[in-house]
Structure 1
């Protein structure tokens, strides 16, 4: 689960505080586990600052706090503040931007040349895939890998993400698939034809940002027609 820490402080020495944050980033380079950091100033009180730091998880954040560089920076930060800063620890229960980025990452993995990358980067174990063109759903990482290997074995392709809409734990992606038929696919030998197809997929996410379910819609009949397997 993504973890966010909010550091709330007051200081009359903002420039020094800003330089201290740069120093922290430099000294922990290669060791710092934060994925995103924002420093914001209160519009109604120019001495009031809030830093929001994001980590992949609480455990990762705790490893970051145990770095000797982090402890030294903290002591310097306290010295710059008018009063002791406060810390608020938050577990992120919904992050629609993260979900959209993970959905896009799936399309990158699927289309990448060479060996198929680790699917657990985007999918939860037990992922359930609904594809109306398949006789039964693909459930689990191995089944999804077999499905992707069939497409990757038959085509050299790219995906373009045309549109994304996120709401709650779901992301709908409208995509365009451009491919060259380079290998056997569903019993059809390679034709070398250039093919394009559009479709949509709705992905459902769990709170750690992994995809747990997907529902696909695309024109496979049209695809088979362009491959010459059926009459257009």
Structure 2
């Protein structure tokens, strides 16, 4: 069973404590079995900090606590606190990955009007995009931003997520895309037409909760027909 420990402390020397935690991570590299750690600062009290550390099990957490390096760092950490820190031990009885919500936020973000917002909190730096309409896969965040910008230059658009199925590190999304053709797209000058397209995207998430890989399937031929690109062929 996954185990989580909450460390609640007050300190006016957080920078020193932060460096101390870096030292702990370095000294226990290869020995420490924590799988995730988050440090949060109280918005209403700048001296109040809580660290949340996750382990695969209580037994693994105890092994971590018994490391000589952990004992030394703990004594130094207490010395940096304004008062004795408190520890809360929790067995995780329900663990919901919020990947589906992140997937929805991804669709909302790339459809935002105006300047494209940062994607750092949504996709990984080494993001890998599979789109059958492209000759080569899109690799990396910068390349993905260029791909999204190409669509945004051609259309004002928004996604409506119709269905989502989440399992392990993947979320399958069935969506409807609606846009207005406002600029050049695939060599077609703006027509002002209202267009609609349906599709499915599967996102794979990394350990940090960001999208690491995506597979897209959508009715691009139908979109081009709505834009009039197939009229000459039909004639």
TM-score normalised over the length of structure 2: 0.63
**Residue pairs, 1:1-232, within 5 angstroms:** 5=5, 58-61=37-40, 63-64=41-42, 68=47, 87-88=88-89, 95-96=96-97, 98-231=98-231
Give me the whole-angstrom Cα distance separating, in 1, the residues matched to 2:142 and 2:49: 41
Aligned CA RMSD, in angstroms, stands at: 2.8
TM-score (norm 1): 0.64
8 Å CA contact retained: 2:5, 2:87: no
Aligned length: 164
Whole-Å Cα distance in 1 between the matches of residues 190 and 124 of structure 2? Answer: 33
Task: List 4+ stretches of structure 1 deviating above 3 A.
Answer: 3-7, 66-71
Counterpart CA distance in 1 for 2:49 and 2:118 is 32
Which has the bigger relative contact order, CA under 8 A and spacing at least 6?
1
Gaps of 5+ in 1: 8-56, 72-84
Shift of 1:70: 6.9
Matches of 1:114 and 1:154 in 2, distance apart?
Answer: 13
- Mapped partners of 1:144, 1:171: distance in 2: 19
Consecutive unaligned residues of structure 2, counting only runs of 5 or more, are: 8-35, 51-85
The equivalent of 1:23 in structure 2 is: none
Assess, with a 3 A threshold, how the Cα gap between structure 1 residues 125 and 195 changes in structure 2: closer, same or farther: same
What are the superposed Cα offsets for residues 109-149 of structure 1, whole Å, 9 maximum, x if unpaired?
Answer: 10001110111110011100000011111000111011000
